[in-house]
């Protein structure tokens, strides 16, 4: 039996994003945000509708894209982008509520999911960067101390 080639590794590593609880929750949140966005009516809210759907879809998308990277450091970078997208989604949901295009109850339900996903992302980043700190970071360079010059000798005073 042949060993899998490098291309097969990418396929296997990309498939396991579905096993991540944070992706599962982010995917569900994205689907609900899309449903909320499609319920927003009015031409004047088309930008809000689009931004809400796009920022919410960006969260699980960045998890998937990050999972396909070859290092934990890169994965953590994509997770940080997902955190930023979750924060953006939360803002758009609040804006939709404040403009009266979604109910306060709907806003609260969706933002509970957004906050839960964001907390999970922060936890995963902490776990990844903690392992990076101990495994990949070189030791910090030592600061060079300034050498003290030897004390100057005093010339004896000439006695008369």
Does residue 89 contact residue 114 with C-beta atoms inside 8 Å? yes
pLDDT band, residue 145 (cuts 50/70/90): low
pLDDT at 16: 86
Q: Per-residue pLDDT tens for 18-34?
A: 999 999 999 999 999 99
DSSP 100: T
pLDDT at 13 over 80: no
pLDDT at 138 over 60: no
Residue 142 lies in a domain: no
pLDDT at 155 over 80: no
- The label of the residue with tokens 């339900």 reads 109
Q: Which two tokens stand for residue 49?
A: 């509708």
pLDDT at 152 over 80: no
pLDDT at 107 over 80: yes
Residue 9 lies in a domain: no
- Report d(CA 12, CA 62) in Å as an integer: 18
pLDDT at 6: 46
- The label of the residue with tokens 């569900």 reads 28
Task: Say how many C-beta atoms besides its own lie within 10 A of residue 14's C-beta.
Answer: 13
Residue 4 lies in a domain: no
Residue 153 backbone class (left: φ over 0; alpha: ψ -120 to 50; beta: rest) = beta
Structural domain span for residue 114? 22-135
- The label of the residue with tokens 């010059």 reads 149
| Residue 65, domain CATH | 1.20.1440.60
Alpha helices (runs of H) in 70-103, residue ranges in sequence order: 72-98
Residue 153 lies in a domain: no
- Report d(CA 143, CA 157) in Å as an integer: 41
pLDDT band, residue 143 (cuts 50/70/90): low
Residue 12 lies in a domain: no
Work out the mean pLDDT of the chain and round it to a whole number.
85
- Report d(CA 156, CA 65) in Å as an integer: 78
Domain count, the chain: 1
More confident residue, 69 or 145: 69
Instruction: Look up the pTM and report it.
Output: 0.73
Residue 82 lies in a domain: yes
Crossing angle for the helix pair 46-67 and 104-135, to the nearest 10 degrees = 30
Residue 120 lies in a domain: yes
Residue 54 lies in a domain: yes
Once rounded to an integer, what is the mean pLDDT over residues 10-22? Answer: 71
Q: Which two tokens stand for residue 160?
A: 């008369």
């Amino acid at each position: 039996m042949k060993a899998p080639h490098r291309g097969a590794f990418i396929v296997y590593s990309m498939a396991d994003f579905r096993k991540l609880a944070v992706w599962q929750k982010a995917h569900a949140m994205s689907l609900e945000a899309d449903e909320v966005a499609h319920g927003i009516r009015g031409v004047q809210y088309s930008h809000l509708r689009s931004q809400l759907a796009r920022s919410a879809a960006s969260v699980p998308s960045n998890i998937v894209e990050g999972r396909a990277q070859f290092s934990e450091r890169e994965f953590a970078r994509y997770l940080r982008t997902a955190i930023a997208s979750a924060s953006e989604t939360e803002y758009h949901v609040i804006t939709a509520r404040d403009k009266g295009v979604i109910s306060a109850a709907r806003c609260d339900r969706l933002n509970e999911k957004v906050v839960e996903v964001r907390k999970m992302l922060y936890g995963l980043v902490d776990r990844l960067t903690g392992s990076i700190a101990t495994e990949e970071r070189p030791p910090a360079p030592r600061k060079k101390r300034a050498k003290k010059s030897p004390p100057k000798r005093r010339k004896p005073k000439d006695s008369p």
